[in-house]
Amino acid sequence: MTYRKINDLLLHNQVIASELEEALKRVLHSGWFALGPEVEGFEQNFASYCGTQYCKGVANGTDALEIGLRALGVEPGSEVITVANAGMYSSTAILAIGAKPVYADIEPDSFVMDAAHAESLIGPDTAALVVTHLFGRMADMPAFCALAEKHGIPLLEDCAQAHGASLAGHESKKAGSWGDVAAFSFYPTKNLGAIGDGGAIVTSSSEIHERIVRLRQYGWESKYRVVDRGGCNSRLDELQAAVLNVKLQHLDSWTQQRQQIGQTYSETINHVHVKTPEAVAGHVYHLYVLKSEHRDALQAHLKAHEIATDIHYPLLDYQQPVFAGEAISKQQLTNSEANVAQILTVPCYPELDDAGLQTVVAAINSWEL
Ligand SMILES: Cc1ncc(COP(=O)(O)O)c(C=O)c1O
């Protein structure tokens, strides 16, 4: 019955319960609860996993985006280019700074930003580019790096859905090591998830790293001495870091399980009205997202078979009620809008067993329109 959930966190954590309990106990008896040895250990381990010089733990992925953008020099009134189909997270961070999100369209079939369209939006107020590796698939980073260099614009990778992802031909270079800065979320459902909120920012620039260290703790240069505006309290706690240290050791094997599920779906779903995501190397299948011109009927059909589905995400950022009446809400992006009406997420997580997977495939293939 593993098909009844999009993700089963109870099952996921039960598999490694004894390792987690040991780590939690260690923190409880250490007397140190925020930004301590567990966090420092995790920061080192995760930087080395991503192939970056530095990693700093923060409270969640949205803070990671905001602090990352501030560290890149984004200021109130400036523009940040991002996508509109990624759940409003980057927009939330951009708006929190008082900057303006400028939305680039996505490529027709990959769900990720179209580099040519992004380039056409660069203007005198552009302060940064946020590239989101959505659903576990990386964007075309060689193209974005070239574009950022050509125009002298800093590049932030949103890796909240792409822990350990890579690109074909660049297998040893992981998501997060391409841009000037990268933001990660460890929300419990993520491929690397804590048992509460958590996030991290990685970079290989010592200057940016120093800014992040200050911004995540009130703008402190040293204790009680504030030198940066825009600082906040965004610390990763020791319990979450201890959990993440345990889970990081399992991440690659969980990723392989996700990739196996993704491959089986792609090879066996064969309904004429269902399009499976492009099967590209290095995809880490945070979410398995199908497309159908009859999406609502497909969702109802799967519901009748008790199969869990979801829509990531039902509204483009500029369609969110918060922008109602503003010029930004009038925007139209062809590929983003075509996708938002067709996307449907089906169960894909390491503990989805073969019977569950086959149930999903059989239900889709037997769907009668
Ligand atoms: C693509 C993306 N970016 C950013 C975030 C924000 O992360 P958090 O929920 O930890 O703030 C999320 C996740 O929720 C996400 O999926």
What letter represents residue 317's amino acid?
A: D
Query: Residues 17-44: what's their mean pLDDT?
Result: 97
Does residue 66 line the site of ligand 1, with CB under 6 A? no
Chain segment 173-220, per-residue pLDDT in tens:
999 999 999 999 999 999 999 999 999 999 999 999 999 999 999 999
pLDDT range class, residue 369, cuts 50, 70, 90 = confident
Per-residue confidence band for 64, with pLDDT thresholds at 50, 70 and 90: very high
Which amino acid appears at position 186 of this protein? F
Determine if ligand 1 sits within 6 Å of the CB of residue 200: no
**Overall average pLDDT of the 310-329 stretch:** 97
Q: Is the pLDDT of residue 121 over 90?
A: yes
Q: For 83-119, what is each residue's pLDDT tens digit?
A: 999 999 999 999 999 999 999 999 999 999 999 999 9
What does pTM read for this prediction? 0.98
Summarised one tens digit per residue, pLDDT across range 222-262 is 999 999 999 999 999 999 999 999 999 999 999 999 999 99
Q: CB–CB of 120/348 below 8 Å? A: no
All structural domains of the chain: 2-245 (3.40.640.10), 252-365 (3.90.1150.10)
Mean pLDDT value across residues 120-129? 98
114 Cα: distance to centroid of ligand 1 (angstroms): 21
pLDDT score, position 202: 99
- Does the Cβ of 85 fall within 6 Å of ligand 1? no
Nearest CA to ligand 1 atom 2: 160
pLDDT single digits (tens) 322-363: 999 999 999 999 999 999 999 999 999 999 999 999 999 999
Confidence of residue 144 (pLDDT cuts 50, 70, 90): very high
46-57 pLDDT, tens digit per residue, is 999 999 999 999
SS3 readout for the chain:
CHHHCCCCHHHHHHCCHHHHHHHHHHHHCCCCCECCHHHHHHHHHHHHHHCCCEEEEECCHHHHHHHHHHHCCCCCCCEEEEECCCCCHHHHHHHHHCCEEEEECECCCCCCECHHHHHHCCCCCEEEEEEECHHHCCCCHHHHHHHHHHHCCCEEEECCCCCCCCECCECCCCCCCCCCEEEEECCCCCCCCCCCCCEEEEECCHHHHHHHHHHCECCEEECCEECCCCCCECCCEHHHHHHHHHHHHHHHHHHHHHHHHHHHHHHHCCCCCCECCCCCCCCCCCCEEEECCCHHHHHHHHHHCCCCCECCCCCCHHHCHHHCCCHHHHCCCHHHHHHHCCEEEECCCCCCCHHHHHHHHHHHHCCCC
> Which protein residue's CA is at the shortest distance from atom 12 of ligand 1?
160
Q: Is the CB of 242 under 6 A from ligand 1?
A: no
